Structure 1
């Protein structure tokens, strides 16, 4: 997830400029004397924080047919430019972008003229180190994300729009004597266009927002997509699927979705329509694999019309193919939200409701640890929804208990990822009463209890370009210690998740970022921030903490998301001011795009020890107009865990009808 490195942009410009032409949303610079490659440079203003840079090998500006952008025009007002014999400077309210005519570099500065990034000159010398030293900026950078979008901890990101023609060079190795081990270089293929977006932001959330400004909003999945997904290689027949679903219901194990990873043409579903009616009668959804590059005409006619709810793509797709499936379903049914599972990490898929599967995990503890960092990087690369796909299999009878433990630890982690997926039925892991089975059931129930919190985060992903899984640097950018933490993360603003990735351990080390206090979610025990500590991590549980000021809305254990859940338990963690907004809509359709949703703001004032439940805004069909809210106040003096019986000292009851209410502790 994190690398110390030097970021080099390919230098194409080493010329003098004679013509600068103002466009509606930027400037075009025609070069009098050119190198062998660049003759024209275009700076396009997307918004105050996002600038597109393109260089063309001729004076004719061509269009990039494979562009990731979802727009055609940028910002036409609110920016200016100036030209001199030395440079052309484009200015927005947040940025100065200078094209130096003699040296051929592009330099990005913030509104205070503080250097953010400078391209190297054609001789390889850069102003970056000298300017940063003058302004006492860090000389080292940490990078997050995955190509083609890379995020720096120094307030910028780069999105390459000619990703198919870009090579990735990482010269890091384990040899300390190698001076270039931390260098990363991007180079375009010979003769290709230079085409990238420079994205500036004071926070990493702003950088992700800039990425989605370019590549499209992340739509809200249907609420059932946030519940448990169960897949199995044995789900190739109608009987196997229905038997699997019935077992979940008989065991009272919560589930919303069942997947056949075998394509419909190779599966044995003699009466798919009847099978889907039976699955839907059990209040569950069904996803099926599509043949490689199947057309929507084929999919819609053969299977969507029979009631299939979601799609499983075994091929690695791109945005164009995902778009064809998404738009095809939208044309056939513009009411219900679609969901597409795919193994691709291609960019810009979030706008087509694609859930990325991390499909390269193997059956090992090492890969479990790596997946924590991979998931965080993928999230920071603008992909909000992804799911684990660990290849955890039992080799032989002697490996049964190690297999159980490893799979259990994977699922404990999976319960706090954007999309919750299982690859084995729980009773095939261990019998009821075994610690493994008990843990799988516990975290499935906890996932559903947290659904009000999780679904609200999904709303934030659309409306505020939020990120669910968050490396600590996103929320604690001024805490230097978190820069070296890649095995724990924030799940939303409130919860810190610390997966266990070592065999047969009952403890793990946790760094508590600089906050007034943290609380063990299971017990309510307080832990000071800014410290490392070895915490308990028994077989059945992974460490889970809530930060001071956290407000976590929870429901009750459900068997599926279609069950009505009107009343809430609101956990409020003392030690700092806090806020959270509960988001609700009609759960399955696209009416939220028409404004049919509600929001209830919760605000905690620590100095006054007062909680305000704000006025409910918005409206939708079937909304809850009256509810009971049980408020649980957790502090050093009153520790309470989410599983403990609530004492009268710690809990309070509010009757809420949509009007503002206050509660003092």
Structure 2
């Protein structure tokens, strides 16, 4: 590609470069965010598949040299070589080269649409583990118009790390030397955003399938179907700054209801109204924390898959059920699906309006009016019946062809198989956009219907921008092995590096069974055929002490996720199925739940920071320790918020599969990042940073370290997130240096925070003066620390704990030690 000329726009916020192969246009979005478009059309198209608002705020200066053009904002410069069209991106202030971008390609690619051509559809309905599906066997392709396939080529630095791209299955943390397919699937959530440890990110404004490739064939990002090659370069001094840039483009995360950060009990599946109530009653009887009970699928009558009307023989009175749960301060979530059986009330209504996709079962979430009708159907009985939140399952609705067979197919084969299904039913240019469009409909229409109630949507897939729709993404239907558990930690870290602040998983995995098919859930206990995804190590489920140990370790890890949620099939998941009080497994689980609720003020303050400052609460060590190469490459430890370093235990120590006793070492190797001192959260023991240590562990303990120079607020004795207790509010100081923690408070389940009605109370520790200053609080809320006693605990290195108890009335106070 030869660059022939470069001209500035009238407002000097963009530059147009003519080449021998089309047009390049560079826009200054901010001083650190640059948009680049390569097109072979006459004009740049205004469309944004991801829904980005196209504001340009930064001026671009153009300098021509003999062999190149230099385009620059005050933050970033691009050297564009005239002979090759190569881009070299640099930090304007330091002059450091950030990225060398080799070339760009656009090749014509016809966009095909599929229909029966006026024939009656030939539908084969298949019952799968992942729900009932329509396969239309007489769809025919027809060219809609000519679009393009695109490639962005990169010349990475030899030791450069590349992260992000959403969540896959393989457990890859650094994508260098790997191929990653970006497509919607049960256990895959593609995000068109990658982040380098060299302090930049790249986001493709693209809704099609994509492939990241870094091997002998080259280093590139392949975009399957685009109208133009449209992407953003985001520079920043930190990962947080880069992600803030990403959210500026795709949307800020909204506040979830406070109860969403408590314990969520789920399984496949509660079958009756009485069972839902009974689960909550048992937790309350045991005085163990609980905030939500989840109603999984099959609430509908037999044969009415996906119908948003419940079977009245099992759920005779939803309002009464939900009121009984609400009286216990327990919230509810209900599973809804985008596809519906023909002949159901919901499907027939969608069909009558022309709102079905060409599988004649799945509603068209790309159509605004179809989204309104879907909401109307969900509201009529489920929302009006008192359900608090949504579980939008199967939001990648056309991965069915791969959800069968005894052997896992090759990665490229799965990509082609599932990708072609999505292109057939969703169109190639928007094959990855369905989940985000579906979430948009739930969010926007609930806010219109119930403007005072926060939206929470647990969804199995998403895309760039999903964070602005009240979503909590989860990793899909995994199987119970130690290997998969470890992979899930890595995938969660990459999801959060992808700019998505809210991610969770099925604690204990969805599938536990392998060969003993008679023990399968999901209505499959009569099916002896082997399934590649049903490969757990524990045919006897919770009766197997090996599974109990795996579940406990997964549960301990889940304590430090944005959502703390247990779910799965094949075996029960409620705490009393793991023994009784005094038993090692039960006690370990109870301890984790109590810790989660102890940390609720800390967690909710992190949530406030996510919303107000584009923060990320589950943090790869690359966020906070980029200069420590050991830390930044870690794929199995992470920071939970500002202060807690979490080191999950990912190997068995007590029992193997089949309850086999193990004689394993009960120590865990942890790395403590350099530049900080660290305190064992449980023992109070201090350690220096920049070293590996071996820590003795028990079943009830995983290593968690507090960064020295931290303030952590805590509560005592909560059984639900919004409980008001009469015990003093606890402020724990871990000295070591000056620090400020900002405590966030608001109403908990409305949108008044959007009007500025919230408290951000500074807890300012001054190390030299040994003084804590508690800043003022303007508003009063349930659970506010205004008009409460505060117990201030100084955790000293040598001499243990020192406490002060003071009364706080919303005005600044100082506490001296």
Q: TM-score, normalised by structure 1?
A: 0.88
Distance 2:780 2:323 in 1: 31
Work out the CA distance in 2 between the residues paired with 1:427 and 1:216: 41
Of 586, 598, 605 in structure 1, the residue corresponding to residue 747 of structure 2 is 586
CA deviations on 1:461-483 (whole Å, 9 max, x unpaired) are 01110000111121111212213
Q: Which residue of 2 aligns with 1:571?
A: 732
Query: 1:406, CA displacement in angstroms?
Result: 0.7
Which residue is 1:418 aligned to? 562
Q: Partner of 2:317 in structure 1? A: 271
**Across the two proteins, how many residue pairs are aligned to each other?**
620
* Aligned-partner Cα distance in 2 for 1:22–1:115: 26
- Equivalent residue for 2:248? 213
What is the DSSP-based 3-state SS (H/G/I as helix, E as strand, rest coil) of the residue aligned with 1:145? strand
Q: Given the superposition, is the C-alpha separation of residues 344 and 398 from structure 1 closer, same or farther in structure 2, using an over 3 Å criterion?
A: closer
User: Equivalent residue for 2:40?
Assistant: 57
CA distance in 2, matches of 1:475, 1:326: 32
Q: Does structure 1 residue 428 correspond to structure 2 residue 577?
A: yes
Task: Give the Cα separation in 2 of the matches to 1:398 and 1:191.
Answer: 48
Secondary structure at the residue paired with 2:29? strand
The change in CA–CA distance for 1:392 and 1:408 in structure 2 (over 3 A counts) is farther
SS across alignment from 1:346:
coil
Q: How does 1:137-536 map to 2 (within 5 A)?
A: 139-146=158-165, 147-171=191-215, 180=216, 184-189=219-224, 192-266=227-301, 267=310, 268-292=314-338, 295-316=374-395, 317-389=434-506, 390-391=509-510, 393=512, 394-396=538-540, 400-423=544-567, 424-504=573-653, 506-536=666-696
Kindly report which structure 2 residues correspond to 1:93-132, keeping only aligned pairs within 5 A, or say none: 93-112=74-93, 113-121=95-103
Aligned equivalents of 1:398, 1:622: Cα separation in 2:
37
Q: Please point out which of 697, 714, 734 is paired with 1:537.
A: 697
Distance in structure 2 (CA, Å) of the matches to 1:400 and 1:21: 69
CA distance in 2, matches of 1:398, 1:611: 47
> Does the 8 Å contact 2:744/2:759 carry over to 1?
yes
Q: Would the alpha carbon gap of residues 451 and 621 (structure 1) be closer, same or farther in structure 2, given more than 3 Å must change?
A: closer
Structure 1 CA distance, aligned partners of 2:446 and 2:754?
A: 17
Q: Partner of 2:54 in structure 1?
A: 72
- Partners of 2:772 and 2:378 in 1: how far apart? 51
**Which residue of structure 2 lines up, in the alignment, with residue 608 of structure 1?**
769
SS of alignment partner, residue 350 of structure 1: helix
Match of 1:132 in 2: none
**Conserved? CA contact 2:15–2:26, under 8 Å:** yes
CA 1:190–1:449: 2 relative to 1, 3 Å: closer
Distance in 1 separating the partners of 2:781 and 2:607: 17
Residues 607 and 392 (structure 1 numbering): CA distance in 2 closer, same or farther, change over 3 Å?
farther
CA shift, 1:322, in A, is 0.6
Which of 632, 655, 659 lines up with 2:807 in the alignment? 655
- CA deviation string 1:558-589 (max 9, x = no partner): 11123114732111112222221000000010
Q: Distance in 2 between matches of 1:598 and 1:264?
A: 40
The answer to whether residue 799 in structure 2 is matched with residue 664 in structure 1 is no
Structure 1 residues 401 and 16, CA, compared in 2 at 3 Å: closer, same or farther?
closer
Query: How much does 1:613 deviate?
Result: 1.8
Counterpart CA distance in 1 for 2:744 and 2:104 is 52
Shift of 1:454: 0.3
Q: CA deviation at 1:435?
A: 0.9
Q: Displacement, 1:556? A: 0.8
CA RMSD of aligned residues (A): 2.5
1:29: Cα distance to partner? Answer: 1.6
Partner Cα separation in structure 2 for residue 23 and residue 258 of structure 1: 58
- The equivalent of 1:89 in structure 2 is 70
Inter-CA distance 493–191: structure 2 relative to 1 (3 Å threshold): closer
Write the distance in 2 (CA, Å) between the matches of 1:511 and 1:518.
Answer: 11
**Structure 2: how far apart are the matches of 1:533 and 1:598?**
40
Structure 2 unmatched runs, 5+: 106-150, 166-190, 302-309, 340-362, 364-373, 396-433, 513-537, 568-572, 654-664
C-alpha change, 1:281 and 1:27, in structure 2 (3 Å) is same
CA distance in 2, matches of 1:396, 1:553: 41
Q: Secondary structure at the match of 2:25?
A: strand
- Looking at structure 2, the residues matched to 25 and 289 of structure 1 have their Cα atoms a distance apart, in angstroms, of 50
1:152 to partner: Cα distance: 0.6
Residue 638 of structure 1, CA deviation:
2.6
15-24 or 327-336: bigger deviation: 15-24
Task: Give the SS at the match of 1:527.
Answer: strand
Using the alignment, how far apart are the partners of 1:45 and 1:228 within structure 2? 44
> Given the alignment, which residue of 694, 707, 725 partners 1:547?
707
Is the 1:25–1:73 Cα contact (8 Å) retained in structure 2?
no
Give the conservation status (yes or no) of the 8 Å contact 2:266–2:294: yes
- The farther-off stretch of 144-153 and 601-610 is 601-610
Pairing partner for 1:34 from 9, 20, 34? 20
Deviation string, structure 1 residues 190-243 (Cα, Å, up to 9, x no partner): 775211111101101111111111110011111001111111223121121111
Output the CA distance in 1 between the equivalents of 2:676 and 2:704. Answer: 17
Equivalent-residue separation in structure 2 for 1:391 and 1:448 (angstroms)? 25
Relative to 1, partners in 2 of residues 1:470 and 1:397: Cα closer, same or farther, differing over 3 Å? closer
SS in 1 for 2:297: strand
Which deviates more from structure 2 when the two are superposed, residues 80-89 or residues 145-154?
Answer: 80-89
Closer/same/farther in 2, CA of residues 565 and 193 from structure 1, 3 Å limit: farther
TM-score calculated relative to the size of structure 2: 0.72
Q: Structure 1 residue 43: deviation in Å? A: 1.5
- Report how far residue 299 of structure 1 moved: 1.0
Q: Secondary structure at the residue paired with 2:237?
A: coil
* Preserved CA contact (<8 Å) 1:569 1:631: yes
Give how far 1:358 is off.
1.3
Residues 372-395 of structure 1: per-residue CA shift (max 9 Å, x gap):
111111111111111111226351
Deviation at 1:51, TM superposition (A): 1.0
Report the CA distance shift for 1:121/1:299 in structure 2 as closer, same or farther (over 3 A): closer
Any unmatched runs of 5+ in structure 1?
1-13, 130-137, 172-179, 641-649
**Whole-Å separation in 1 of the counterparts to 2:644 and 2:542:** 37
1:135 aligned residue? none
**Contact 1:205–1:466 under 8 Å retained in 2:** yes
What's 1:10 paired with?
none
In the aligned structure 2, how far is the partner of 1:299 from the partner of 1:153? 43
1:263–1:291 contact (8 Å) kept in structure 2: no
Cα distance 1:565–1:601, how it changes in 2: closer, same or farther (>3 A)? farther
Deviations 1:476-524 (A, max 9, x none): 1121221332111110011111111100152110011114421111121
SS in 1 for 2:760: strand
C-alpha separation in 2, matches of 1:68 and 1:125: 21
